[in-house]
Amino acid sequence: MTRAHATVGWIITVALFPVTVAAQTTAPTFAKDIAPLLYAKCATCHRPGEVAPMSLMTYEETRPWARAIKNKVVSRQMPPWHAEGEPGKWRNDRRLSQAEIDTFVAWVDAGAPRGNAAVPPPPQFAHGWNHPSGRPPDLVIEAPEQAVPVDGEAPWQNVYVKLPFKEPIYVEAAQIVPGNRAVVHHATVTSTTLPADTVLDAAGRRIVSPAGAQTPARSAPAIPGGAAGIPAPAIGSFFSGWEPGLDTPVSYGPGIADRIGGTHLVFNLHYQANGSATTDKTRIGIWLHRDTITHTTTGPSVGMGTEAFLYEGKELTGRFSAQVTTDLLPPGVKTVPDIPAFADNYRLTQLMAIRQDMVLYSIQPHMHVRGRSAKYTAVFPDGREEVLLNVPRYDFNWQILYEFAKPVTLPAGTVVRVEASWDNSTKNRYNPRPDQEVHWGEQSWDEMLSPQLRAVVPLSEPITPTPLPTLPSAQ
């Protein structure tokens, strides 16, 4: 009887032992399982010198944050991504799959082991830049240092920097890097031509002729329905932008290029005072296009027709804007109705008519701290509808440029319907004053709707870039 019990016990032990060994040997390790995920999804921000508060490039750097990482990935707060859409829809999709989240959880629950295997080499990025190839820019242009006041409203300002070449160049990718992210609300860079007798002050902000009279820049008219103060790109001209969360180069792929011509770059800079007198030196990195070009970019809004707004189910008659204050608007343009105090679901619909055939590559919603959601729908000329982008939980701190893996053709006559909402209630933890009516304007405590579409149009004939001009070394 005793022997029989011993035999049974031995069988049970043998049966259980392989399971225990399997559980121990299959626990994820940093070297084998976690490092590749961090390098693929997190390294852009979580490396030395970048925007994230800590680096996650080595085991020693990552281990102290293991439980915090688990909490952030389980809640899907990290990596930041707010668009819906099936896997494969977005070229730059940062989301972790459920299996990848489970891997992080199992690793932390197992004690966050390093593992015995060699840690794979981390991705190599040029210091301060995030081009997917790891290459540094071919050219870096920096705006003069700007003073930022202690408090008060900071108006948008244009800063001009002379281009270091005379021939036009074609751009494959560009990235704006603020010098002081804590106070930069946004930055855009375009190109323009200034009169030959233009003189700039040390900050590049005043344009005065030798006689002392102000000399306006010759630039394109304002973007239809767009914000006053931002120089508008024409089709085939250069445009690049930065807002919080947008820390990667904007690029389009083979055969597509921006064009930089003229005499100067225009840095349109908007600062948000934070209680301390400080300065900023924003710069832009440019990667040149070296191959045959078949398509050119349209800028963020060029190629759109007259815009219309629907409020409470009714179209607003006349010309309206949901971007800037009345004093910056062109004559005859009014702002849409203000957001009432304590309104938890203020809704506005913007209709943008596509006036020429184009191929849509990316969308970037832009609102301020009360922004709640944004949904883009294409209504094609035959009546068919397609949801282009749905962001049910917009976050001002992470304004993401959503890039289509398969670009969408928008024929002329298409209307893009943008349905947006704002939360001005006490439920919005970013809301500074829910008890106040919110006006439309350029400050972060104001509100805005800037539904930026980035598309390309075909050239009548392909362009082969000429040999590159002699450029200063990238910094």
How many domains are there within the chain?
Answer: 3
Higher-pLDDT residue of 101, 8: 101
- Say what the pLDDT of residue 465 is: 81
- Positive or negative, the Cα torsion across 107, 112, 118, 119? positive
Mean predicted confidence (pLDDT) in 67-85: 94
Confidence check: pLDDT of 9 > 70: no
Residue 82 lies in a domain: yes
Full-model pTM = 0.76
Looking at the fold, whether 362 and 250 belong to one and the same domain comes out as no
Contacts of 115-118 with C-beta under 8 Å, sequence gap 24+, read 115/29, 115/30, 115/31, 115/32, 116/29, 116/31, 117/29, 117/31, 117/32, 118/31
Looking at the fold, whether 333 and 206 belong to one and the same domain comes out as no
8 Å CB contact between 439 and 338: yes
Which residues sit opposite 162 in a β-bridge? 264
- Say what the pLDDT of residue 468 is: 66
Confidence check: pLDDT of 209 > 70: no
Which one of 55, 88, 109 terminates a domain? 109
Looking at the fold, whether 74 and 41 belong to one and the same domain comes out as yes
Radius of gyration of the chain (CA): 26
Looking at the fold, whether 291 and 325 belong to one and the same domain comes out as no
Residue 473 lies in a domain: no
Confidence check: pLDDT of 154 > 80: no
Residue 201 lies in a domain: yes
Mean predicted confidence (pLDDT) in 43-60: 87
Mean predicted confidence (pLDDT) in 423-435: 94
Burial class of residue 321 in the structure, from the number of CB atoms within 10 Å of its CB (0-12 exposed, 13-18 middle, 19+ buried):
buried
- Say what the pLDDT of residue 180 is: 87
Higher-pLDDT residue of 113, 468: 113
Looking at the fold, whether 167 and 284 belong to one and the same domain comes out as yes
Looking at the fold, whether 92 and 143 belong to one and the same domain comes out as no
Confidence check: pLDDT of 146 > 70: yes
Mean predicted confidence (pLDDT) in 42-62: 88
Question: What is the end-to-end Cα distance of the chain in Å, rounded?
Answer: 84
- Say what the pLDDT of residue 183 is: 83
Confidence grade of residue 246 (pLDDT, cut at 50, 70, 90): confident
Q: What is the pLDDT of residues 363-400, one digit of tens each?
A: 989 999 999 999 999 999 999 999 999 999 999 888 88
Higher-pLDDT residue of 428, 247: 428
Q: What is the pLDDT of residues 195-206, one digit of tens each?
A: 888 888 888 876
CATH of the domain at 385: 2.60.120.230
Residue 383 lies in a domain: yes
Quote the Cα angle for 119-125-131, to 5°: 130
- Say what the pLDDT of residue 140 is: 94
8 Å CB contact between 433 and 445: yes
- Say what the pLDDT of residue 160 is: 93
Q: 231 is written with which tokens?
A: 């120089």
Mean predicted confidence (pLDDT) in 324-352: 89
Confidence check: pLDDT of 14 > 60: no
**What average pLDDT is seen over the chain?**
83
Looking at the fold, whether 277 and 312 belong to one and the same domain comes out as no
Confidence check: pLDDT of 240 > 70: yes
Residues 6+ apart with CB under 8 A from 66: 107, 108, 112
Confidence check: pLDDT of 296 > 90: no
Confidence check: pLDDT of 191 > 70: yes
CATH of the domain at 168: 2.60.120
Residue 126 lies in a domain: no
- Say what the pLDDT of residue 208 is: 57
Residue 48 lies in a domain: yes
Looking at the fold, whether 288 and 331 belong to one and the same domain comes out as no
Looking at the fold, whether 32 and 145 belong to one and the same domain comes out as no
In 3D space, the residue among 209, 234, 130 whose CA is nearest the CA of residue 173 turns out to be: 130
Backbone torsions φ then ψ of 313, nearest 5 degrees: 80, 0
Residue 181 lies in a domain: yes
Of 243-252, 256-265, 270-279, 466-475, the one with minimum mean pLDDT is 466-475
Looking at the fold, whether 231 and 360 belong to one and the same domain comes out as no
Higher-pLDDT residue of 471, 84: 84
Instruction: For residue 77, give its domain range.
Output: 22-109
Residue 117 lies in a domain: no
Mean predicted confidence (pLDDT) in 46-65: 89
Mean predicted confidence (pLDDT) in 97-120: 94
- Say what the pLDDT of residue 98 is: 94
Output the DSSP codes for 295-340.
Answer: EEE-TTTTTEEEEEEEETTEEPPSEEESSS-GGGSPTTEEEPPPBP
